[in-house]
Amino acid sequence: MVVKVESFQLDHTAVKAPYVRLIAVKKGEKGDLVSNYDLRFLQPNEAALPTAGIHTLEHLLAALLRERISGIIDCSPFGCRTGFHLITWGEHTPEEVAIALKETLTEIVEKIEWEDVQGTDIFSCGNYRDHSLFSAKEWSKKVLEEGISSDPFERKIV
């Protein structure tokens, strides 16, 4: 029997990006909770973040979201390049995560300079030549202009 992956069961034609969606909360053997969130930047099958921009956003989100959300384990881009998985210890509401994402994207647009991007040299990144702060800022602006929803199906802008 093939395991059904929740993300592949989601009707990608029904969602309204940008949004934050709680995908799942798993309880470990010792009672620890691990949560998985869908940070969707772009409407599926309509656009995709370019690799250099998503790569720089990945590096920025890894640091800046940790300043706003406790217990972050990882923040990684989707293969489809329309957003990111955010994995945390414990559980946060989609609204809390959406507010933190909004604050983070605002900081990227308004304050971040190239020197602030971690992991952009041959020693600290596996593909250090493929970065674009310009692209990261432009896509962050687009998401902020459209507004981040705390619901994937109804626009509940934070």
Domain residue spans of the chain: 6-146
Q: What is the pLDDT of residue 117?
A: 98
Helical axes 133-146 vs 94-110, angle rounded to 10°: 130
Whether residue 156 contacts residue 17, with contact meaning beta carbons closer than 8 Å, is answered with: no
b/e sequence 90-109, b meaning 16+ C-beta within 10 Å: eebebeebbbbbbebbebbb
Q: What is the pLDDT of residue 4?
A: 87
Which CATH fold would you assign to the domain 6-146? Gyrase A; domain 2 (3.30.1360)
Whether residue 137 contacts residue 98, with contact meaning beta carbons closer than 8 Å, is answered with: no
Question: pTM of the prediction?
Answer: 0.95
**Alpha-carbon distance values, 11 to 6, 15, 133, 153 (Å):** 10, 7, 32, 10
* Cβ-based neighbours of 35, under 8 Å, separated by 6 or more: 22, 24, 25, 26, 87, 88, 89, 90, 91, 92
Element (H, E) at 26: strand 19-27
Q: What is the pLDDT of residue 97?
A: 98
Q: What is the pLDDT of residue 9?
A: 87
Structure letter (DSSP) for residue 102: H
Q: What is the pLDDT of residue 118?
A: 96
Q: Are strands 83-89 and 19-27 parallel, antiparallel or unpaired?
A: unpaired
Rg, Å, the chain Cα set: 15
pLDDT in tens, the chain (158 residues): 788 888 888 999 999 999 999 999 999 999 999 999 999 999 999 999 999 999 999 999 999 999 999 999 999 999 999 999 999 999 999 999 999 999 999 999 999 999 999 999 999 999 999 999 999 999 999 999 999 999 999 999 99
